[in-house]
Structure 1
Amino acid sequence: MTKQTKKVPKRIAQTVLNSLKGGVVPRIGLPYVTVGRKNEIQALLHDVDIISEGGASFRFVVGRYGSGKSFLMQTIRNYVMNSGFIVVDADLSPERRLQGSKGQGLATYRELISNLSTKTKPEGGALNLILDRWISSVQSKAASDSGLTPGDPRLTAIVDQNIYTVTSSVSELVYGFEFAKLLSSYYHAYVNADDELKAKVIRWFRGEYALKREAKKDLDINIIITDDNWYEYLKLFAAFFRLAGYSGMLIMIDELVNIYKIPNSITRQYNYEKLLTMYNDTLQGKAKYLGIIMGTTPQAIEDKRRGVYSYEALRSRLAEGKFSKPGARDLLAPVIKLEPLTAEEMLILCEKLAIMHADLYSYEKKMTDDNLATFIRIEYERIGADLNITPREIIRDFIEVLDILYQNPNLSIETIFNSDEFSYAKSEAVSNKVADNFSEFTI
């Protein structure tokens, strides 16, 4: 069995264990608990290489609730940030869609920009930092190349020209003229220490102007970001970030199932139409230095009545070919279907968690290899577990067992495993999972 040799810092261990026990994916510490998904990760990282060379990609990561979609997406997120990428991410909801008559598309854009992250600011809110660093780096490079000192009018002229080179490149794109004008306004506000103007530009970039006349008054711009055009500005950001020295931009949108759940068929179709536009852009070369990954469930993709496949233009592009099957999936296709983690992989993961837990609370690990094997066997032998049990449920239960054993040192592992409560809890979890799956089909 693979042993975890590198000790996990307690701050990270606490976050990882608390997050996993709560059923959510931690934003830090994932390399310590990543198991399996090697082929899927390699496929997505191949896309990253293409993006950094000026290409674009679009992938759907498809799996049942708790199967590891968000875990995989978070793993890729951390990797690309360490490789010099900008990442924006958001979960869809009834209030956040790709398109909507009440600002739901704009709400998604605002969430994405709010969560804009870099390696040095992984928690989001990095837009100001990126713009300031861009201007500072242009100034530093100009001073280094020219040998001139700050304050020299000749250096200012060189910096102005370099800034203009970037903004003029962006201005050639759709909506690029206004975007470039705002970048120039931000630069001059930075140079003149005009914090009020900087704040107004950032407010515009965040999609917070509701009226064109207000933007005209504050920034001399005749356009604002809306439900209809927000995606175009993400393409502009991708182009600008590359010019500002980053490798590219990755958009990560999870919970696409919320479009599947929209009761109105016309509204769903409008959202799928937006999805088609984004998909076509990446494959036809209309977007550069841009990757898009969307997470969803099998039903939300394959249901021909209300899922993505209900939109024929998407179904014909995304439907799996006749030769792909479980155990031999085409991971170069637009849709990546997650295979369940094997019992052996779950065993390795639980061992990592047991070591992490013992190190965090400073006790000698009591969970033996036999104990781990027994736990996994119990989990997988439940009625319906082969179809319904997920890594999320197994991990959550395992951490709870570790917590109970730590707080009750006189309690034996065998006592917990053989208890009626443990059996009842597992049976209930499987029953609830069946109910959840049924509810997805009957919304």
Structure 2
Amino acid sequence: MISNIKPKEATSIINSLTGGVVPKIGVQHIAVGRSEEVNAAITSLEEVKNGHSIVKFWIGDFGSGKSFMLHLLNTVAMKQKFVVANADFTPDNRLYSNDGKSVILYSAIMDNIAIQTKPEGGALPTLLEKWIEQVITKTAEENRISLTDIRNEQYRDLIRNSIMKTVNEITEVGGFDFGSVIVKYYDGYITHDELLRRNALKWLKGEYATKTEARQDLGIREIINDSNYYDMLKNFCKLFVNMGYSGFMINMDEAINLYKISTSAVREKNYEKILSIYNDCFQGKVSNLFINFAGTKEFLENERRGLFSYQALKSRLESNKFESLEIRDYAQPVIKLQPLDHNEIFVLLKKLKFIFDFNYNTALNVSDDDISAFMEEMFNKPGASEFLTPREVIRDFLNILNIIRQNPQVDKKRLFGEIEISDERPNDLAILDSIEEL
């Protein structure tokens, strides 16, 4: 049923889904019912490869598969030789702030940078060292110096100048400081000075809180902050393309946390930042950048607190008026994820049973008929039509498989009968709306 799955992927899938979260790796093995969305993403990736930039909004109910879709996009993009990064919006980070919350989001993005050989994140040092080696090789060739000799101390200024020259050519705002810190990273890398290398990485990830601290450690007078972090993301995008990657995909999930910002002026500033990014991408002001936002219908369409409360965004993000449930337009900026149907969920649960058996090296006595009985029991429970999400179906199914694995004689029908449906949706959205009306 599933080929080429690795043990590490199987463990990640089972452990993550049992915990109610999307696995970082292996999601392609459990993808069902999203072929049109994936095909649209592949088309967009081709456009970004060719120098365009794109923003997409993935909209769906809680538990409908938004986070799964972003992780699936990661897998597809990495195969297309993109650098990717994921970050969640939280009450402590956002796109616009003046109290450090934007640079926290930036740091989360940089922490989670991934490439095909490091799909779980933490790939920034690997990428920097790869690029530095490319600069060293190119400088050696241009100056007819052997690859062994070019690493000698006498040629370090030559390499430093090459790094600065290349960075200045590909960057715009903040390029000098950006290049200067990469030079520091090179110094630490070539001399095996781990502290200097870590300090340079700390600066590039936006982890310096004060200019004084950065100046003491690196001799750099500026730091990455709430006002310049987006420029640094664009600089990194250009650096990744310079080293041979197709582009930079950034996925930002849990956008409902922007909707929940209590101060309307701050919320509007965040939407203004989304508009600025949107315009940059679609007006050609930035190249090879693909940004995805994932949020609920409330985040998009609520006229008081959502993106539609900001008229300039509403006019750009309203659905194609010729679209219907049967006739979809996947080229538009907003893609609304439809719930998986029962046949698709059945296929998904069969895949999960296979992966579960593979992970635990077992062969549980759970047939297709048993899976159908589980689904029938679950979808006929009171409240299922209103509250049941794929996340809850998957988690209950895996929990039952775990019980059967450890207690082979257990009565499956009794387990199915003990299923209960609960409303997993956050209960604070309606409260927020009522407060806004006061």
TM-score, scaled relative to structure 1: 0.89
Deviation at 1:335?
0.9
Deviation at 1:81?
2.2
The equivalent residue for 2:50 is 53
Cα gap change, 1:410 to 1:187, in 2 (>3 Å): closer
Q: Write the distance in 2 (CA, Å) between the matches of 1:415 and 1:209.
A: 56
Deviation at 1:197?
3.7
Matched-pair identity in %: 36
Deviation at 1:298?
0.7
Q: In the alignment, is the contact (CA less than 8 A) between 1:142 and 1:155 conserved in 2?
A: no
Q: Write the distance in 2 (CA, Å) between the matches of 1:10 and 1:187.
A: 36
User: Structure 2: which amino acid aligns with 1:42?
Assistant: N
**1:372 counterpart = 2:371:** yes
The equivalent residue for 2:435 is none
Q: Write the distance in 1 (CA, Å) between the matches of 2:4 and 2:211.
A: 55
SS of the residue corresponding to residue 61 of structure 2 reads coil
SS of the residue corresponding to residue 323 of structure 2 reads coil
SS of the residue corresponding to residue 204 of structure 1 reads helix
Q: Write the distance in 2 (CA, Å) between the matches of 1:289 and 1:136.
A: 23
User: Structure 1: which amino acid aligns with 2:407?
Assistant: N
Deviation at 1:384?
4.2
Matches within 5 A, 1:190-269: 190-269=189-268
- Using the TM superposition, name which of 46-55 and 381-390 deviates more: 381-390
Q: In the alignment, is the contact (CA less than 8 A) between 1:91 and 1:253 conserved in 2?
A: yes
Residues 317-344 of structure 1 deviation map (CA, whole Å, 9 limit, x = unaligned): 1111322222323211111110010100
Q: Write the distance in 2 (CA, Å) between the matches of 1:9 and 1:188.
A: 38
The equivalent residue for 1:336 is 335
Deviation at 1:156?
6.8
Deviation at 1:283?
0.7
SS of the residue corresponding to residue 77 of structure 2 reads helix
Aligned with residue 441 of structure 1, among 430, 434, 437: 430
Deviation at 1:183?
2.8
Number of equivalences: 429
Q: Write the distance in 1 (CA, Å) between the matches of 2:21 and 2:160.
A: 46
The equivalent residue for 1:150 is 148
User: Structure 1: which amino acid aligns with 2:23?
Assistant: P
Give the aligned CA root-mean-square deviation in angstroms.
Answer: 2.4
SS of the residue corresponding to residue 181 of structure 2 reads helix
Cα gap change, 1:218 to 1:317, in 2 (>3 Å): same
Q: Write the distance in 1 (CA, Å) between the matches of 2:8 and 2:202.
A: 34
Deviation at 1:193?
4.5
Cα gap change, 1:280 to 1:191, in 2 (>3 Å): same
Matches within 5 A, 1:40-439: 40-141=37-138, 143=140, 146=144, 148-151=146-149, 162-171=162-171, 173-417=172-416, 419=417, 421-422=418-419, 425-426=420-421, 429=422, 432-433=423-424, 436=425, 439=428
- Using the TM superposition, name which of 207-216 and 306-315 deviates more: 207-216
Q: Write the distance in 2 (CA, Å) between the matches of 1:387 and 1:373.
A: 20
User: Structure 2: which amino acid aligns with 1:148?
Assistant: S
Residues 368-425 of structure 1 deviation map (CA, whole Å, 9 limit, x = unaligned): 22222222223333344334321101111111221222222222333333x3x23xx1
Q: Write the distance in 2 (CA, Å) between the matches of 1:137 and 1:437.
A: 49
Q: Write the distance in 1 (CA, Å) between the matches of 2:156 and 2:226.
A: 39
Cα gap change, 1:220 to 1:439, in 2 (>3 Å): closer
Deviation at 1:279?
1.1
Q: In the alignment, is the contact (CA less than 8 A) between 2:163 and 2:179 conserved in 1?
A: no
Q: In the alignment, is the contact (CA less than 8 A) between 2:57 and 2:333 conserved in 1?
A: yes
Cα gap change, 1:27 to 1:95, in 2 (>3 Å): same
Unaligned stretches of 5+ in structure 1?
Answer: none
Q: Write the distance in 2 (CA, Å) between the matches of 1:188 and 1:10.
A: 39
Cα gap change, 1:147 to 1:180, in 2 (>3 Å): closer
SS of the residue corresponding to residue 408 of structure 2 reads coil
User: Structure 2: which amino acid aligns with 1:441?
Assistant: A
TM-score, scaled relative to structure 2: 0.90
Q: In the alignment, is the contact (CA less than 8 A) between 2:160 and 2:183 conserved in 1?
A: no
SS of the residue corresponding to residue 272 of structure 1 reads helix
Residues 74-122 of structure 1 deviation map (CA, whole Å, 9 limit, x = unaligned): 1111222233221222111110111123211111111111212222223
Q: In the alignment, is the contact (CA less than 8 A) between 2:189 and 2:197 conserved in 1?
A: yes
Cα gap change, 1:385 to 1:163, in 2 (>3 Å): same
Deviation at 1:165?
4.4
Unaligned stretches of 5+ in structure 2?
Answer: 433-438
The equivalent residue for 1:17 is 14
Deviation at 1:221?
3.7
Deviation at 1:158?
7.3
SS of the residue corresponding to residue 304 of structure 1 reads coil
User: Structure 1: which amino acid aligns with 2:405?
Assistant: Y
Cα gap change, 1:209 to 1:438, in 2 (>3 Å): closer
